[in-house]
């Protein structure tokens, strides 16, 4: 069947064939991650061992709920294998850094459960850093390794820039996908057309994003997450002295009264981001919704600020009453601009 599907993809796109990106709450076959190694000392500095230990803690937490498979560059394979628990698979494959939500493939499925690897063009977040071959090609190589059909979209962007409800509704930001550093000259209609072809998006909800967020240009996975079709957890910043409050409120205003692909109004539950946590890095990511929704669990970041950490756990418990909430300290990683969601990519069951 995969051979027939590969042939069909020559003349048709996943969207045209009825494939849709599943919601992150759907059942997973595995969670994919990419090992962090020390090829670029300017990225992680002398604390690379600390970062690797934090990576192991996150992978281990997810592995309590579903299989975790870690891609490691061949030269870093032995170290990754030694540091990670034995029940976590390690696969040797060229890759450059740990932000696998953005460098890895997206997965789409049809009603029969067939899966396609659908890849966007990754240009290192708008060409802000040198593009390594490993991160450019890892999506296609992983899909090939899995023996799945593969679709390459001409659209430039990252997985962290998209949130799907699994029924054709996708939420994204203008500052990311409409940015001239990714898709120069493309209109909303152009992007929506390519998102339909790549991941089956029937309705795209556009939020303004964050023009001040330099690395990702305002990825949506630091703003909200679907808990079920028609309902999102949305992060606010209650500190009127913090310039990020304005960004949060503008995005919230744009989301209110929006409807999904089936015409139902999106329900919004507000929660606070980790606004009490401060780090000297200007890139620090302080999002709780930048989490991993696993089979039977949610891996939630903690920032060592009990007031917001505890409140986030309670909010997620109410939103996911059938899942266990597990918190993992993200402080050794979040200062470099990302979180747990940025490090992971779910493969649907």
**Mean pLDDT split into 10-residue runs, the chain, 349 residues:** 78 96 98 89 84 97 98 96 98 94 97 97 93 88 96 98 98 98 98 98 98 95 98 98 96 98 98 96 95 98 98 98 98 96 98
292-294/267-272 β-pairing: unpaired
Q: What are phi and psi of 133, to 5 degrees?
A: -55, -35
- Evaluate whether 94 touches 138 at the Cβ level (below 8 Å): yes
Q: Which residues are tagged catalytic?
A: 342
- Contact between 76 and 35 under an 8 Å Cβ cutoff? The reply is yes
The Cα–Cα gap between 316 and 309 comes to 11
Q: Where are the beta strands (DSSP E) in the chain?
A: 28-34, 68-72, 89-92, 106-109, 115-121, 150-156, 163-164, 169-173, 203-207, 224-228, 231-236, 267-272, 292-294, 297-302, 324-329, 344-348
Q: What is the pLDDT of residue 1?
A: 64
Distance of CA 243 to the CA centre of its chain: 24
Q: How far apart are CA 287 and CA 312, in angstroms?
A: 10
Residue 14: which residues within 8 A CB-CB, separation 6 or more? 108, 116, 118, 151, 197, 198, 199, 200
* pLDDT confidence of residue 47: 84
Taking the C-alpha atoms of residue 331 and residue 63, their distance in angstroms, rounded to an integer, is: 20
Q: Are strands 267-272 and 28-34 parallel, antiparallel or unpaired?
A: unpaired
- Report the pLDDT value the prediction gives residue 233, as an integer from 0 to 100: 98
Neighbouring-strand partners of residue 272: 236
Q: Does domain 2-348 have CATH number 3.75.10.10?
A: yes
Tokens of 145: 């390794």
Distance from C-alpha of 36 to C-alpha of 51, rounded to nearest angstrom: 8
User: What local confidence, expressed as pLDDT, does residue 191 receive?
Assistant: 98
The pLDDT value recorded for residue 331 is: 97
């Amino acid at each position: 069947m995969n051979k027939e599907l590969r042939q069909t993809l020559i003349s048709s796109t996943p969207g045209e064939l009825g494939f849709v990106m599943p919601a992150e709450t759907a059942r997973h076959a595995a969670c994919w991650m990419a090992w962090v190694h020390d090829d670029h000392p300017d990225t992680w500095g002398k604390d690379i061992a600390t970062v690797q230990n934090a990576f192991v803690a996150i992978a281990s937490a997810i592995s309590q709920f579903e299989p975790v498979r870690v891609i490691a560059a061949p030269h870093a394979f032995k170290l990754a294998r030694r540091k990670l628990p034995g029940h976590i698979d390690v696969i040797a494959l060229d890759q450059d850094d740990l932000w696998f939500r953005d460098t890895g493939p997206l997965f789409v499925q049809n009603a029969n459960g067939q899966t396609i690897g659908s890849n966007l063009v990754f240009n290192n977040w708008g060409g802000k850093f040198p593009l390594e071959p490993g991160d450019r090609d890892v999506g296609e190589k992983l899909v090939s390794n899995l023996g799945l059909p593969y679709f390459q979209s001409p659209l430039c962007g990252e997985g962290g820039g998209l949130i799907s409800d699994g029924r054709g509704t996708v939420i994204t930001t203008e500052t990311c996908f409409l940015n001239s550093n990714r898709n120069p000259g493309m209109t909303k209609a152009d992007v929506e057309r390519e998102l339909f072809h790549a991941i089956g998006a029937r309705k795209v909800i556009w939020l303004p994003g964050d023009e001040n967020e330099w690395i990702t240009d305002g990825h949506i996975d630091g703003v909200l997450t679907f808990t079920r079709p028609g309902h999102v957890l949305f992060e606010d910043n209650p500190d009127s002295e913090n310039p990020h409050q304005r960004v949060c409120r503008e995005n919230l205003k744009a989301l209110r009264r929006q409807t999904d692909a089936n015409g139902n109004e999106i329900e919004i539950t507000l929660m606070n981001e980790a606004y009490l946590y401060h780090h000297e890095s200007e890139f620090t990511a302080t999002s709780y919704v930048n989490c991993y929704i696993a089979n039977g669990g949610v891996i939630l970041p903690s920032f060592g600020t009990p007031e917001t950490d505890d409140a986030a756990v309670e909010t997620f418990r109410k939103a996911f009453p059938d899942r266990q909430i597990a918190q993992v300290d993200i402080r050794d990683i979040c200062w470099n601009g990302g979180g747990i969601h940025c490090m992971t990519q779910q493969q649907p069951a």
